[in-house]
Amino acid sequence: MEAVYIGLGSNLADPVQQLDAALKALAQLPKTRLVATSAYYSSAPLGPSDQPRYTNAAAYLETDLAPHFLLDQLQAIELNQGRQRKAERWGPRTLDLDILLFGQHILDDERLCVPHYHMHARPFVLLPLAELCPADFQLADGRLLADLLKHCPVDPTLQRLHTPAFCTI
């Protein structure tokens, strides 16, 4: 089974409830086990500032699914929870599920970029991820998570909210 890390985000339709429902859906994926979840964080939106704050988290899965099949499953969860894909990037959404890391795979095609292409600059991704990984965690591309955290821009608006009820760590 591959170790996979998923980034979760929502800023519409009760974001905490959206993340709770998404974690339950992740736990139901075939050939997959939800191992642990991070705390929830609140952050200012990227892009247009005239939208609600985001609630973000990370999840650690173990899966036998192929990367693109897992992506299909994640997009189905997003759609099931009311996600509408629009041309507008960084707009408001009910749910966003991103594959951050997929074992030691490095992928870069029209559908999937792993490690996630911009995670190094997003404290709302790195801080939840760091809760799930050991201090010396190394990404498939050789970067250390500790180094990414050290060089990540500081976000003074980022707030740790709470740990979800079904956190397994």
Q: Could you say which of 14, 85, 89, 96 is catalytic? A: 96
Active site residue 93: yes
Q: Exposure pattern of 81-118 as b/e (b: 16+ CB <10 Å)?
A: bebeeeeeeeebbbbbbbbbbbeeeeeeeeebebbbee
Q: Could you say which of 83, 85, 109, 155 is catalytic? A: 83
Is residue 39 predicted with pLDDT exceeding 80? Answer: yes
Residue 63 — pLDDT band, cuts 50, 70, 90?
Answer: very high
Residue 165 lies in a domain: no
Residue 166 lies in a domain: no
Active site residue 147: no
Q: Could you say which of 20, 33, 85, 98 is catalytic? A: 98
Q: What is the pLDDT of residues 16-32, one digit of tens each?
A: 999 999 999 999 999 99
Q: What is the pLDDT of residues 102-139, one digit of tens each?
A: 999 999 999 999 999 889 999 999 999 999 999 899 99
Residue 167 lies in a domain: no
Residue 169 lies in a domain: no
Range of the domain at 48: 2-160
Beta-bridge partners for 63? 2, 32
Residue 84 — pLDDT band, cuts 50, 70, 90?
Answer: confident
Q: How many domains does the structure of the chain reveal?
A: 1
Residue 129 lies in a domain: yes
CATH number of 18's domain: 3.30.70.560
Residue 89 — pLDDT band, cuts 50, 70, 90?
Answer: low
Closest CA relative to residue 130, chosen from 70, 60, 32, 34: 60
Is residue 169 predicted with pLDDT exceeding 80? Answer: no
Active site residue 72: no
Give the pLDDT score at 43. 94
Distance CA 32, CA 2 (A): 9
Q: Could you say which of 50, 93, 141, 155 is catalytic? A: 93
Residue 140 lies in a domain: yes
Distance CA 129, CA 146 (A): 11
How many alpha carbons fall within 13 Å on the CB side of residue 161?
Answer: 18
Distance CA 145, CA 150 (A): 9
Active site residue 83: yes
